[in-house]
Amino acid sequence: MKFPDFDYACPASLDEALQLLEAHGEDALILAGGQSLMPVLAFRLAAPRILVDIKKLPGLDSVATNGEGFRLGANVRWCDILANGELRAAHPLLVEAIGHVAHYQIRNRGTVGGSLAYADPAAEMPGIAVTCDAEIVVASRTGERIVKAADFFLGALSTRLAPGEIITELRLPAWPAKRRWAFQEFARRRGDFALAGTAVFFDLNGEGLAVDAHVGVIGASDRPHRLAGAEAAITGSRVDADAISAAAAAASQEVEPMEDFHAPAAYRRSLVGTLVARALTDAMAD
Amino acid sequence: MTLRNLLIGSPIERVEDLRLVRGRGRFVADINFEDQLHAVILRSPIAHGRIRAVDPTDALAMPGVCAVITARDLGAEVPLIPLRLQPLPELQPFRQPMLAYDKVRFVGEPLAVIVAESPQLAEDALEGVRVDIEALPAVIGRDAAEAGDTVLFEAHGSNRAIRWTAVRGDADAAFRRADYTRRETFRVQRHAALFMEPRGFVARWDDETEKLTVWGAAKVAFANRRILAAAMGLSEEQIEMIEVDVGGGFGSRGEFYPEDFLIPFAACLLRCPVKWIEDRREHLSTANHARETECDVEIAATSDGRILGLRGRAWTDNGAYLRTNGSVAPRNVAQFMSGPYDIENIHLTTDHLTTNKTPTGTYRGPGRFEGDFVRERLIDLMAKDLGIDRVEIRRRNLVPEAKMPFPLATITPFESATELDSGDNHALLERCLTDFGWDQKSELNGKLIDGRYHGIAVGCFIEGGGAGPSENARIVLETDGSFSVHIGSAAVGQGIETIMAQIAGDALQVPMNRIRVAHGSTNDVTEGFGSYHSRSTVMGGSAIVLAAEKLKHSIREAAAMVLRCGAEEVNWDGDRVGGPGDMTVTLADLCTEPIEAEATYRNSEFTYAYGSLAAHVAVDVETGEVEVVEVASIKDVGRMINPLTLKGQAVGSIVQGLGGALLEHLIYDEDGQLLTGTLADYMVPGADCFPNIRATVVELKPSPLNPLGAKGGGEGEIIPIGGVIANAVAAALADYSIEPFDLPLTPPRLWALIGEVQRVL
Amino acid sequence: MQIKFEINGEMVEIDVAPRISLADCLRDTLGLTGTHLGCEHGVCGACTVLVDGQAVRACLMLAVETDGQSIVTIEGLSNDDALTPLQASFRKHHALQCGFCTPGMITTAHALLSNEPHADADRVREVLSGNICRCTGYIPIVEAVLSAREHYADKNGSK
């Protein structure tokens, strides 16, 4: 399982990288950590003429936090997120979810931008991006555009990223300190892609009722998405046992699960309900 | 003969480790020659079809490509891989050709060999070979195989290769007089050994000496040399098979596969060293698969739970061809289903079916894992039906020591009878229960704690070992006073260098640092049978004991000449030899030429280690996930050579078994495509999966059959795992009356079983 | 492509094709065969090496990506005189049988303990879950890593 033949370029600026991408069109693939791309190449499922390694692009490896939210450069690695103590306090859902990504060695190489671009339906980063209403900043020769995460993922391994475009940043909205949240995923072994997973958060208003409820799901369908019915079931509630079971039932009902040899659709449907219930219970625990 | 017991029985740290922990092992992929070429195998992309053309023209024009070998290049008749074990005439039609020539019968079957200047260039050229295959319907699964609308081997006319029959007593009569019978259907899924080091060979032909050297041999180097010599038209003396470090075997590695021939063939054709290292994708679709078995079995007993008989049928899905040892598991399912239990009446058959899947072979505990799953499940079902305690029912049925040697069912064809040699099954069951804490844990049975149901189970097993016919050892006293021990046993990662040095050290009464164990080449000894059936220690070790006796005799004779006394008067303390007077001479001074002795240990009877294993599981009924809270096992091997390595074998065996019970599954679609073709999809246990395993190995009843008293111990604990885990799950889910009959117990499968019950309730 | 990197403390300059993985480069170009290839698709962990001090899968990296970086392999974590405490602990606990996964286990465990000398059993298991061993059942490997911790803690003066 040796890689097919290709060239390699490691441009030092965004302009240079974009020029390379433009010049090579669909023959170019972006190397952004490579922890998903390299297996694809090893199985010869892709045959690029050139890999454009974006690791040297300046400014893409920083995590910035301000009152408006969080900016994760595309080259920020999982280990950077996990080692960032401030982030752990400021956006605990993100850090908790990223702790579930693959294995130790992978987390030292895999990047935010790489994961968003690869768009595995079970991947944690796209799931958090969608659940949190994040925006994805995309650069091309014609400038920069911002795509809502909710619109970015089209299906399994399919996104709105066009040839010649590079993801430069993920923008996550601000995270109130008292927000209730939880992340749950179910994988057969530690580090495996989850059969399903869920990220949930909501705020409790002065009366103890849930507002701004977000329930996202990964692994169950062909892309990460939010579960409107489950969100509605807890919105305005005290997120008590009744609300939680209503949300779980809604989640099971509205999800459109995939079926493969790992699990039938009915199983994933049930699993999503179970995980949503557990996540909401976790979120309410002190 | 008696051995001083200094090294044997001590937990000696392994000599192999000194190189392996430093990354200085020498595995086959580490062998290189300056002028070597690299081979890749072009494999069938479809499961069943008639070959119209394999055209290498374009590939030959690609950069760095030196040759493309197709079936046409192998001569008028493409050689077939012979059957190493049970080579019955009726099984001959199912042998695999070295390259497919008329039909392909599984995805991954070799069609051509591409040889190029680098592995990358060779792989590039795969797409340059034009393959035209007329697709035929794929025969997938028992129903399609038995229906026979499509057959893999038209000349044979049926997809059933053979039926094995195991008989003891009169099963039908026993069932007629039984108070109780229960009949169920069980399925064990296709899974595999999955050793970590991919297979590989480096072959070099030497024009001057007209000799072929092959690096990468394992397990059965001598047998494979014989096969290779015949296929190549060479004499055995012209071939040296060299075994370097081997990254695991578990029954699968080292059997003769097409590449065992194709790579040496390419080296001879091109007059150049040729190297091939299997990749993981081709490993998963071409190295022997194992275990896929369906059983429809019935148990008969008295109302007080004495088992009277076992009868029924098994079907094994053995894939497209019958490989070297492909009939071992189908035979064992029938012959060993009774395990350590005193069952007087048995009638079990196994239909060996061919399908368009990867061929099968042995995997640690072949046929025994499958058979034990069936038997241990039936015993628990019977206990529940009769209202008898699960432990008590086992006590009533285990073969008592007084009945040993105890004959098992006789298998036909290729008739073989065998008997349990020695052992105290009851003592081990009690010890296992104590170690496990059975009485305390029994209170957990069926209880819902923190959202999960807990359950426990215990099972008993036997492990056959010490397969004959013989093993050879040659010991050389070198002129520097050190000893070289050459054995025909093979190292597959089980620590043979250490274990054999311990045995030789005690036999020769010298410290281990004076002994060098060589096992790497077919040139070391005149014949060898290798490492399978937990035989290395029993057979190779016993051969060393015999060779040491012979060598000591020769050394005494040599010393008698020097010391001018009778050989019987010579004293020996391992370092020096002395005569009747004060005169002594060191071993180094004794000989100007090496002194050597070779001995053969022969054995026609198997040893049987035996033991018990208990497990505690917790089942999440919402997700169907089974957590293995704890496993505790005990096994008697008669005599332990190295408790450290033996315990290591036991723990490793348990975790492999848990993989088979819960995780591992080679899944095919209806077209015969393997869906679990990566290590992400074929799930073996990881470090986080099963953290609580306790294995104990004891010396209780030495085998009466060999000078060491040893019984094979490399497989044991994997054997009962499937049954014990399924029984523990059933115990946990007693409220739901769930009885699992199929492995693996995946979350979706258990969830579905629970869901069916909930719908009824 | 011409690249220059540090291998086990020594600067090396080589010419390597872009498509050659770091693992193949180490093994074939540099003869460092202690780095093993068990799957070549990033699952088994046998090829784990340290790049700039961090454990990575050498099958999922191109050699050309490591231009200017520092790489340590199992050979760089070994010496002739004696086993390192981690290696000795593997031997003592019988944490290897066939030894094929062992270099990856040791490089991974070394990276972990160098950064987290007080890692507990759960953390050790979590980190090693990216390295497949088919022989030992992992129990002795985890024991070996846990009992080697004191040597790393001493070294970091943080015990």
Which residue in chain A is spatially nearest to B620 when comparing CA positions? A274
Report d(CA B344, CA B21) in Å as an integer.
50
CB-based contact, A49 to chain C, within 8 Å: no
Conformation bin of residue B75: beta by default, left when phi > 0, alpha when psi is -120 to 50: left
3-state secondary structure B363-432: CCCCCHHHHHHHHHHHHHHHHHHHCCCHHHHHHHHECCHHHCCEECCEEECCCECCEECCCCHHHHHHHH
Residue C159 has pLDDT above 60, yes or no: no
Distances (CA, A) of B184 to B50, B52, B143, B169, B305: 39, 45, 18, 22, 18
Residue type, position B693, single letter: I
| A10 in C contact zone (CB under 8 Å) | yes
Name every chain C residue with its beta carbon within 8 A of the beta carbon of B20.
Answer: 96, 99, 102
* Burial label, A176 (beta-carbon count in 10 A; 0-12, 13-18, 19+): exposed
Matching residue, tokens 């890689």: A3
Which one of A103, A118, A193 would you mutate to disrupt binding with C, by most C Cβ within 10 Å of its Cβ?
A103
The length of chain B is 761
Interface of C with A (CB under 8 A): 1, 17-21, 24, 40-42, 45, 48, 54-57, 59-62, 64-65, 67, 108, 111-112, 125-127, 129-130
Q: Which chains would you list as touching C if contact means 3+ CB atom pairs under 8 Å?
A: A, B
Q: Do A270 and B751 touch (CB under 8 A)?
A: yes
- Of B382, B307, B343, nearest to B739 by C-alpha is B382
Cβ-count burial B292-327 (b if 16+ within 10 Å, e if not): bbbbebbbbbeeebbbbbbbbbbbbbbbbbbbbbbb
Contact B747 A263 (CB under 8 A): yes
Integer Cα distance of C66 and B164 in angstroms: 58
Q: What is the mean pLDDT of residues A277-282?
A: 98
Three-state DSSP state, B135: strand
Chain B interface, Cβ < 8 Å to A: 119-120, 123-124, 279-281, 622-625, 663, 667, 669, 675-676, 678, 680-681, 683, 685-689, 746-748, 751-752, 755
Helix segments in B106-220, DSSP class H:
119-124, 142-147, 171-177
The full 3-state SS of chain A, as one line of letters, equals CCCCCCEEECCCCHHHHHHHHHHHHHHEEEECCCCCHHHHHHCCCCCCCEEEECCCCCCCCCEEEECCEEEEECCCEHHHHHCCHHHHHHCHHHHHHHCCCCCHHHHCCCEHHHHHHHCCCCCHHHHHHHHCCCEEEEEECCEEEEEEHHHHEEECCEECCCCCCEEEEEEEECCCCCCEEEEEEECCCCCCCCCEEEEEEEEECCCCCEEEEEEEEECCCCCCEECHHHHHHHCCCCCCHHHHHHHHHHHHHHCCCCCECCECHHHHHHHHHHHHHHHHHHHHCC
ipTM metric: 0.97
- Interface touch C130/A106, C-beta < 8 Å: yes
Tell me whether A190 touches chain B (CB under 8 Å): yes
What spatial distance separates the first Cα and last Cα of chain B, rounded to whole Å? 68
Determine phi and psi for A248, rounding to 5 degrees.
Answer: -65, -45
Residues of B in contact with C38 (CB under 8 A): 196-198, 280
Give the residue from B15, B20, B120, B694 with the most C CB atoms within 10 Å of its CB, the best one to mutate. Answer: B20
| Window C:107-146, CB contacts with B under 8 Å | 121, 124-126, 128-142
Residue C157: predicted pLDDT: 44
DSSP B155-171: TT-SSEEEEEEEEES-H
Using only the alpha carbons of chain A, give its radius of gyration.
Answer: 19
To test the contact with chain B by mutation, choose from C132, C135, C141, C145 the residue with the greatest count of B C-beta atoms within 10 A, namely: C135
CB count within 10 Å of CB A116 equals 26
The residue to which tokens 């193949």 are assigned: C24
Q: Quote the tokens at residue A224.
A: 């990460």
Q: What is the DSSP letter of B475?
A: E
Mutation target among B751, B756, B759 for the A interface, most CBs of A within 10 A: B751
Report pLDDT digits (tens) over A203-249.
999 999 999 999 999 999 999 999 999 999 999 999 999 999 999 99
Question: Taking residues C7-17, what's their average pLDDT?
Answer: 98
Q: A282 CB near a chain B CB, below 8 Å? A: no
Which of B422, B336, B402 has its CA nearest to residue B610? B422
Classify residue A119 by burial, with Cβ atoms within 10 Å: 0-12, 13-18, 19+.
Answer: buried
Regions of chain B short of the pLDDT cut 50: 1-3
C75-105: buried (b, 16+ CB within 10 Å) or exposed (e) per residue?
A: bbbbeeeebbbbbbbbbbbbbbbbbbbbbbb
Total residue count of chain C as it appears in this document: 159
Cα of C68 to nearest chain A Cα, Å: 12
Q: How far is C108 from chain A (nearest CA, A)?
A: 8
Provide, as residue numbers in chain B, all residues whose Cβ is less than 8 Å from the Cβ of A2: 119-120, 123
Q: Is residue A176 scored above 70 in pLDDT?
A: yes
Report chain A's mean pLDDT, rounded to a whole number: 97
Give the pLDDT of residue B533.
Answer: 76
pTM over 0.95: yes
Look at C65 and A7 and tell me if their CB atoms are within 8 Å.
no
A105 touches chain C (CB under 8 A): yes
What pLDDT shows up at residue C158?
41
For B218-274, the DSSP string reads: -S-HHHHHHHHHHHHT--GGGEEEE--B----TTTTTS--HHHHHHHHHHHHHTS-E
How big is the A-C interface in CB pairs under 8 Å? 88
d(C-alpha B727, C-alpha B617), whole Å: 10
- Which pLDDT score is estimated for B605? 86
Contact: A53, C65; criterion CB under 8 Å: yes
Do the Cβ atoms of A109 and C56 come within 8 Å? yes
Nearest neighbour of C55 by CB, restricted to A6, A8, A108: A108
> Partners for A (CB, 8 Å, 3+ pairs)?
B, C
Tell whether A6 is within 8 A of chain B (Cβ): no
Residues recorded for chain A: 286
Per-residue pLDDT tens digits for A56-104: 999 999 999 988 999 999 999 999 999 999 999 999 999 999 999 999 9
Taking contacts as CB-CB distances below 8 angstroms, the residues of chain B near A264 are: 748, 752
Find the distance separating the first CA and the last CA of chain C, reported in whole Å.
45
Contact C94 B14 (CB under 8 A): yes
Instruction: Please name the residue of chain C whose CA is at the shortest distance from the CA of residue B645.
Output: C94
CA distance to partner chain B, nearest, from residue C154 (Å): 22
Q: What angle do CA B389, B391, B393 make, to 5 degrees?
A: 70
Nearest CA in chain B to C135: B652
With an 8 Å Cβ cutoff, are B492 and C98 in contact?
Answer: yes
Q: Which two tokens stand for residue A142?
A: 């014609």
Cβ contact B683–A189 (<8 Å): yes
Q: Is A43's Cβ below 8 Å from some Cβ in C?
A: yes
Per-residue pLDDT, B575: 78
**How far is the alpha carbon of C18 from chain A, nearest alpha carbon, in Å?**
6
Which chain B residues are Cβ-neighbours of C126 within 8 angstroms? 688
B54 CA to chain A: closest CA distance, Å? 22
Chain C interface mutation, best of B12, B16, B18, B22, highest count of C Cβ atoms under 10 Å: B22
Q: Using CB atoms within 10 A of its CB, is residue B403 exposed (0-12), middle (13-18) or buried (19+)? A: exposed
